[in-house]
Chains A and B, each alone.
Chain A
Amino acid sequence: MSATRTVTVGSSQGLHARPAKLFVEAAQNTGAQVTIAKGDKSVNAASILGVMSLGVDKGDEVTITAAGDGAEAALDTLETFLKTDHDEA
């Protein structure tokens, strides 16, 4: 089974630098196969380079898709992550 969700990114640096690293770690920790897409480009969410190459900025809409057991739970975790601001100072 697979599930899909569209989320607006809340981090003020988007998914660059530290937030990108944290997102990839979070995606890896869910244990599910996750992809993240912006526009028509879709990448493996476990790939920091893939995620950085999307050039996601604050306020962008991204679509996350998860497959495998616990897909919904994985998307719950990642949706919360994406909506939160992870930047300090």
Chain B
Amino acid sequence: MSAAAQSAMKGTGIGRGVAVGPVARMSPPPLPPPAEPSLLTHEQESQRVTEAIAAVTADLTTRGQTAGGQAQEVLDAQVMMAQDPTVQEAVETLLAQGQTGEYAVHTAFAEMAETLQALGGYLGERAADLHDVAARVVAALRGDPPPGVPDPGHPFVLVAQDLAPADTALLDLDKVLALVTIEGGPTSHTAILARGKGITAVVGVAEASRLADGDEVIVDAANSTIVVSPTQEQRAEAAARVQARAAAQAAPLTDGALADGTPVPLLANLGTPESAAEAVQLGAEGVGLFRTEFLFLSSESAPSVEAQRKAYQELLEAFPGKKVVVRALDAGADKPLPFLNDAEEENPALGLRGLRALLTNEEVLRDQLSALAQAQEVTSADLWVMAPMVSTVEETETFAKFAHQHGLKTAGVMVEVPSSALLAEQILKTADFASIGTNDLTQYTMAADRLLGSVAGLQDPWHPAVLKLVREVGAAGTVTGKPVGVCGEAAADPLLAVVLVGLGVTSLSMAPAALADVRAELLRFTKDQARAIATAAVSASTAAEALQAAQHTATTLTNE
């Protein structure tokens, strides 16, 4: 990394993109209205506020209907906030004291936002929604246009304090090169939007408040940086990356392989049978993780064998002759199912979840395996089944026995718990394959709840402790001659994917949108080079150093 890049503004990158362009700033929130006595009567002010709120809720409702889907739900929640009786009472109290409508609305909403912010986490980030509602009502009171996204008439890098759902819902994606926010974390609306639409974004860049309209910047999500007034050389480098990325997206859909031809099958993670078509289009060679929770989440009881058979058959029919790995129902800490386990647990992540819950409710597992076997009979896909959250050899044996009894010949386990990584060789003597779930493996290795923002810093799959466990599993796969896949988010990070292959992983499964980037990165290195990059990462002391060591080794190898 050059000296200039090191002095760049830092934030949290979302995705792998890079973009170059001029800044357009979202107009900052209007100045707080002064506390001066109103010249109107209390009733008149009250009437003005009622009309302004009605206008804003009508506008938000229309935006929601235009946007549809998830955005609409968020905007509907904003409508509820605008009409909220608690805030309206606070507004009324201020109006009764002779304040202006502008001041009363601004102050009442700001106090409520402060309360939410004090609660932190998810609620804290909803404070942005509330500030946005207040700014809209105040603008309506003043007769100003609603605050929102600028339109400079050319493509731009949008820089905002934080984006409100009302802004993101109607963003013209043809004009927005990248998003940069001053506030907001990885769970903010901006981050969610960027992930969903594949927009280059860096969030939480405190220093971005210094950026002005027209400033040229490089937004580098892969490195979590913003480079201001880039040099000619930096611009050329970024432009080359933009082009390489576009080329990777447009590259022929070859099967996954390293530079020396070593095959590394690239598979898709899917959650519903309907998503199969997109995965096939993006070149998925099969399915590395099919989550079956969607069949169960909306039901009070487990669905019938027949209902399950239909869904599995639809999935398998999309992949004739290809490998499809189906994971048995994974009820867990973040997705409890009452018919599996309704006990209150102090530590649900360490509780009766995954395969543990299935083995205490054998009929649910047996029904699922029966339905899978029936779907297998009438289709030509190569069906593999795997058990979620396996922590012992005994569990492996029990699951493999059940699967084989039902006529499912390939039965494997997910490695998400350090114990099964350390015992991988014994486990792979029974299991036909292993698939590493890096998100949970990281959570359990680092003892950091993956749903908890305050320990999110520990949830990094680049951590050498996690990589060492992956190496154990990879080595066990080599010794036993059994396949070892990765189906966590780590497989979607191109350089980390190379590291995983260097550690002995034989296939990678990811969200279909990530396939092109990973396919291109794998083609840059031979097996020996991947091993060298992996060795450099595993020998590091911290996650950040592991990433740096991998980057450094990769650059050295490709420049040789």
Contact = CB atoms under 8 A, between A and B. Distances in A.
Interface of A: 12, 16-18, 21, 24, 43-44, 46-50, 52-53, 55, 59, 85, 87-89
Interface of B: 73, 76-77, 80-81, 84-87, 112, 115-116, 119, 122-123, 126, 130, 271, 293-294, 297-298, 334-336, 338, 344
Given A21-B76, A55-B119, A85-B338, A49 B86 contact: yes
Contacts of A55: 119, 123
Contacts of B77: 17, 21, 48
5 contacts: A12-B334, A16-B122, A24-B80, A43-B86, A85-B338
Nearest to A54: B119
B297 A89 contact: yes
B110 to A, nearest CB: 12
Nearest to A88: B297
A44 B112 CA distance: 14
Given A17-B122, A21-B76, A21-B77, A50 B298 contact: no
B80 A48 contact: yes
Nearest to A24: B80
Contact of B293 (A17, A85, A89): A89
Nearest to B337: A85
Contacts of B81: 48-49
A52 B118 CA distance: 12
Given A47-B85, A48-B80, A49-B116, 12 more contacts: A16-B123, A21-B80, A44-B86, A46-B85, A47-B86, A47-B87, A48-B77, A49-B87, A53-B86, A87-B335, A89-B293, A89-B335
A72 to B, nearest CB: 23
Contacts of B73: 18
Contacts, number: 58
Given A47-B86, A85-B338, A53 B115 contact: yes
Contacts of A48: 77, 80-81, 84
Contacts of A46: 85
B46 to A, nearest CB: 19
B84 A47 contact: yes
A53 B84 contact: no
Contact of B336 (A12, A17, A18, A47): A12
A47 to B, nearest CB: 4
Contacts of A49: 81, 84, 86-87, 112, 116, 130
Contacts of A17: 77, 122, 126
A53 B344 CA distance: 24
A53 B126 CA distance: 11
B165 to A, nearest CB: 12
A5 B294 CA distance: 34
A72 B286 CA distance: 55
Closest 9 CB pairs of A and B: A47-B86, A50-B86, A48-B80, A49-B84, A47-B85, A55-B119, A53-B115, A47-B84, A49-B86
Nearest to B346: A59
Nearest to B294: A89
A48 B334 CA distance: 24
Most chain A beta-carbon contacts within 10 A, residue among B84, B123, B126: B84
Contact of A44 (B85, B293, B298): B85
B379 to A, nearest CB: 26
B119 A59 contact: no
B336 A53 contact: no
Nearest to B333: A12
A89 to B, nearest CB: 6
A52 B297 contact: no
Contacts of B298: 88
Nearest to A84: B338
A52 B73 CA distance: 16
B292 to A, nearest CB: 12
A10 to B, nearest CB: 8
A50 B122 contact: no
Nearest to B120: A55
A40 B7 CA distance: 50
B122 A53 contact: no
Contacts of B80: 21, 24, 48
Given A59-B344, A85-B336, A50 B293 contact: no
Contact of A52 (B123, B271, B293, B294): B123
Nearest to A52: B123
A47 B344 CA distance: 29
B76 A53 contact: no
Most chain B beta-carbon contacts within 10 A, residue among A12, A24, A47, A49: A49
B311 to A, nearest CB: 16
Nearest to B121: A16
Nearest to A8: B344
Given A48-B80, A85-B336, A53 B85 contact: no
